[in-house]
Amino acid sequence: MNPKNLFSKIFLIVVGVAVGVVVSLSAKTGAQNDVVTYLEERYKQQNIPIAEITVLQESPLRLQIVIQTAGDGRTGTPDDPINFHMVEREVVLAAKKGYFVGSFSRVFVNSKGEKFPKADTPVYTDPDTLNVAPSRIADNVTKDMVSEDLNLYGMSLVNMDVSSSDGLQSLTLQVSSLSLEEANRAGPELVASLPDLIHKINAQGAQIQICRFEIRDEKGEILLNYLLDLQLHSQSWWADEKFTDTWSEGPPP
């Protein structure tokens, strides 16, 4: 074989491999940028205070998500556990849009700029979690159904709202209690009743997957900030010390 022809073939092979590597790296970088942009937009829509999302590892994809807290020290605020959970929820459900994250770490940064990293969280998904059918009932109708069956066990309803995102509904309740004693008695009963209430309404065509409620005292001070996530089978909450003193076991599953 002519040495010049051999050299030309080798050169073309090397160039082809190099181009393939560049294209592959560009595709990976584009996919990583896409998932970061997607999550940033989702968090923005839900008013979750994200300071930064960084790719720590390409394969399997590992992210670091920095959450801004209004606290000025190591003690968190009533919204922190809820935001902490919602960050995970969006990472898990991103798989439904084709964005697969292997694991992620959450870092809280307080008002002083101090950072408090948490352990890495692996991401697990299953078809039952991702493939939830959208609601067949309008939000206002679902709200009326909740209002009809909701038992506050003596506390007062300040506000209730039902909203939708991608066909899945979120129920928000703001509740007021006249006394700490009433809140400590009625709060656990309300928490325990929510799964059955929501399952009953969903069986009629609604699709409530998130329920968030707060209890405030007669002065407007928050006693409990609670979130139930039926889709991820989990719950998160913040409770005032006065509240948890008489509720030592925490909300039931």
Q: From CA 198, how far away is CA 145, in angstroms rounded?
A: 10
Q: Are 76 and 106 within 8 A, CB to CB?
A: no
Place of tokens 């294209």: 23
Q: Are 172 and 225 within 8 A, CB to CB?
A: no
Give the residue-averaged pLDDT of 195-210. Answer: 97
Which tokens in the block code for residue 14? 């090397």
Instruction: Break the chain into its structural domains and give their ranges.
Output: 32-130, 139-244
Give 211's pLDDT tier (boundaries 50, 70, 90). very high
Q: Tens of pLDDT along 78-115?
A: 999 999 999 999 999 999 999 999 999 999 999 889 99
pLDDT of residue 13: 53
DSSP 97: G
Q: Are 53 and 93 within 8 A, CB to CB?
A: no
**Which CATH code for domain 32-130?**
3.30.70
Q: Are 215 and 253 within 8 A, CB to CB?
A: no
Q: Are 224 and 241 within 8 A, CB to CB?
A: no
Q: From CA 113, how far away is CA 123, in angstroms rounded?
A: 28
pLDDT-above-90 percentage for the chain: 74
Helix (H) or strand (E) holding 139: helix 139-149
Q: Tens of pLDDT along 162-174?
A: 999 999 999 999 9
Q: Tens of pLDDT along 38-59?
A: 999 999 999 999 999 999 999 9
Q: From CA 123, how far away is CA 129, in angstroms rounded?
A: 12
Q: What is the pTM of this model?
A: 0.82
CATH of 139-244, one of 1.20.58, 3.30.300, 3.30.70, 3.40.50: 3.30.300
Residue count of the chain, please give it.
253
Q: From CA 81, how far away is CA 227, in angstroms rounded?
A: 9
pLDDT of residue 119: 86
Q: Tens of pLDDT along 11-38?
A: 555 445 444 433 333 444 456 779 999 9
Work out the angle at residue 196's Cα, subtended by the Cα atoms of residues 205 and 232, and round it to the nearest 5 degrees.
75
In terms of DSSP bridges, do strands 168-176 and 208-216 run parallel, antiparallel, or are they unpaired?
parallel
